[in-house]
Chains A and B, each alone.
Chain A
Amino acid sequence: MSDASKKAQPGFWSIFFLFFGISSVIIGGGYVMVPVIQRAIARKGWLAEDEFYDLFALAQALPGPIALNAATFAGRRLAGLRGLLAGFLGVVLPPFVAILLVAVLLDNLAGLKPVQGFLKGAYAVVPGLVSAFAVNMVRKRNWTPVRAVLTCVASIAMIVSGSWAIPVFFVVAAVAWLSEGWKRC
């Protein structure tokens, strides 16, 4: 662990409220929440951008909604088990409350014109935001020729693999892991 992260270790409540706030307002699914989380944490000075991408790669390799995994891993990195729980509760509570309110009180909410318009607008920016996140991750990576080739092959393989994407994910990870070791010997 670097000194910078120790110096700025946030407490349970500040982590909780950060994720609570993000989870309360973000519409559009996990891949949108991830860049928002990244920006928010970087702005607070809690975690460097490239460190977040390392966490994200690991979060991606485990089952579970990606936004939730990103939050628990970022929380753990920031403040150990306390931070993990803070991230978890922060992400889970707002939608849980919101969804029960909507289900009980506003059953026809989805049919209202302003709501439909809001959704159309909000979902229209999702491809742009996710692409920007991907490009930033590419920019911040420490590239080697082997990594570049593997990443290109992985991208093409997953695009054509359809429902086999997850097995392909692990095959790529395994091949990449072997190639990293072979280089160091």
Chain B
Amino acid sequence: MLELALVFLKIGLASYGGGWTIVGIIKTEVLGRNWLDEAAFADLVAIAQITPGPVALNTATMTGFRVHGFLGAVVATLAVVAVPLILAIVVGMLAKKHFAAGSRLSEALKSATLGLLAMTVWAFAPSMASAWYVPVLSVLAFCLSMFTKLNPVWIILGAGCMGALVFTFL
């Protein structure tokens, strides 16, 4: 149990950017320690995907649950968010002024963040090419999101329900 907490503390410290990077880190740690085999981990990621919320967080909760039951789920979840939460509090208190909108640091981080976003968008290329409906729906979602005030929640839920209907009945 202590090992579980330490591993997820470490993962929380090393987890940068989007969820899928973090899932990759968790996979390396979990498989490397023989806590789960590859098939069990793939199953677990599938469940993390269909449950709402950040995938990285869900994968951590699920791994804890599989390894140590309910208590493991609590420990893994708390451990993986401990470092980000503490940093958010500390950085927030220390740097109120420096992070004001338009400040030097904030503008510097924006250049880097836009780079990271560009990388994320680029990484979607394989999924865009995987099936004809992915680019179609993506372009539609892009336009809806750019040119209307529609909340993206409805775009996701709408596309999901459409997918459920089409996939079940065709």
CB <8 Å contact, B145 and A35 = yes
Where chain A touches its partner, the secondary structure class is helix
Q: A166 touching B99 by the CB < 8 A rule?
A: no
What total of chain A residues lie within 8 Å of the partner, measured CB to CB? 104
Chain A residues with Cβ under 8 A from B17's Cβ?
Answer: 60, 66, 165-166
> B156 touches which one: A129, A153, A159 (CB < 8 A)?
A129
Quick check: A176 and B107 within 8 Å, CB to CB? yes
B157 smallest CB distance to A (angstroms) = 7
Please report the C-alpha to C-alpha distance between residue A38 and residue B100 in the assembled complex, in whole angstroms: 18
A127 to B138, Cβ gap below 8 A?
A: yes
Indicate which residue in B20, B99, B113 contacts A29 across the interface (CB closer than 8 Å).
Answer: B20
Interface residues on B, range: 35 or more
Query: Are B119 and A128 neighbours in the complex by a CB distance under 8 Å?
Result: no
Digitize A93-128: 1 where CB-to-B-CB distance is under 8 Å, 0 elsewhere: 011101110110000011001111111111111111
Q: What is the 8 Å Cβ interface bit string for chain A, positions 60-85, against chain B (1 contact, 0 not)?
A: 11111111110011001000010010
The answer to whether A132 and B145 touch (CB under 8 A), given A25-B157, A109-B50, A180-B107, is: yes
Across the A-B interface, the 3 shortest Cβ-Cβ residue pairs: A121-B163, A64-B84, A117-B167
| A-B residue pairs in contact (CB < 8 Å), sample of 17 | A25-B156, A51-B101, A63-B84, A65-B54, A65-B57, A65-B84, A68-B54, A84-B89, A99-B73, A119-B49, A119-B160, A126-B127, A128-B143, A154-B118, A159-B122, A165-B17, A184-B104
